[in-house]
A and B are shown apart, each in its own frame.
Chain A
Amino acid sequence: MAVADSLNKRKKMMLWSGIFILLVIVLLPMSGYIVTGLNESQQQSAEPTNPRADTWRQVRQGNEGYTAVTGQEANELIQGSGETWRQVRNGPMATYGSWFLGFVLLVIMAFYIMRGRVELTHPRTGETVERWTLNERRLHWTTAILFILLTITGLSILYGRAVLIPLLGYPGFSLYAVGAKFVHNTLGPVFMIALFAILVKFFRHNFFNKVDLEWFKAYGGMVGDKHPSAGRMNGGEKVWYWALATAGLALCFSGLVLDFPNFGQERQVIQLAHVIHLTTALLLIAFSFGHIYIGTIGTEGALEGMTTGQVDVAWAEQHHDLWLQEMREKNTDSPRSSE
């Protein structure tokens, strides 16, 4: 028994000493924390930073200093956002912008080849109805001509360096660009007034309703041979209206920021306005391609409404049946013979 007892005791001692050694192995190296543990975080924050580095950090962040020289933002040493603007404008904006416009043109061309013109399903009746009044047509063509001029001059500023300099040479393109800049900066605000007038004039016709939903479901009658109903403005025209009412307004206001440097707006504001101006302009130019296509070669009998003001009753019945009905109800002798 005594032997077994002493063996048991030895086992116990071995076990306990083993645990003790393990604990010491784990805890002893951590004893340093008794001294430094609490102070460590304080030491890190108390480490003095290089005061001069702070000065240069301030400069890089575009902090303002003092300068005896007068001039726009002359007291700012470094303006970091310019490089970002350059990368955005020369990179994605210019590259994807050109792809986007090209892609939209290709899609329209492919659509024309596959679908062809949307023709009148019934022969012309010879009877016409007034679709656009003289004032509406004046307003439309004023805005349209200004839009086209601004598109050409604007795209010349963005892509002229790549496309037109090889054609015109440096002095030739410079001469053209001086004119383009003048035309763009002068006609921009005029376009804005014309656009505002159009938005106000057609406002009440452009609320979406259930008829438009059906119109979109039938792809506006462009795909297939269905003839979805539409009032004076169809769903597509309403989308174009709201594109102009949103992107168009952003385009105009960002344009004003760029056009009038005399108010001393800062470069960061100008850069942002420029990116907005480019984005909305490219978007609306692409939209206008579709609008011009549908209004001219895409639809038989559509253009005459905007040139002469009169459309054939057969056309009105096919494309704007609800509006024709409304016109007939309002004025029973409204549809008049063109003979």
Chain B
Amino acid sequence: MNDKFEPNIVAFLCNWCSYAGADLAGTSRIQYPANLNIIRVMCTGRVNPLFVLNAFQQGADGVLVSGCHPGDCHYMEGNYYARRRFTLMRELLEYVGVDPRRFHMSWVSASEGAKWKEVVEEVVENAKAVGPFDQFRRNKINW
């Protein structure tokens, strides 16, 4: 793949664990690639599978959903719903021809700033390996 390719990643992070973990990475001045932008939701259970499709449609090269470790959800079971939904989602994406390396789920707690860096690096590297994504891009018809 093109070495210069810088993928664009959209991440959905739950407020209580992963968003706080990403904040901790910042407070600890842990450096990681700038390719990933975060959308904060209260819980991964809120992340509509549609958001993932929409992100790809807008042109994202990769999508990450990250929440509390299973069993640690601030809302008791929201991340279980997310886990089920996105396990299916991953299958569906693969089925329709999206490389599964473009879609990731991770569990990062509020104390895992260092793990957050590893997750970002992994997601970015994976997206780099698959290359730019434009299969799903909404095409504007030029009349």
A binds B: no
Chain B interface (Cβ < 8 Å from any Cβ of A): none
Chain A interface (Cβ < 8 Å from any Cβ of B): none
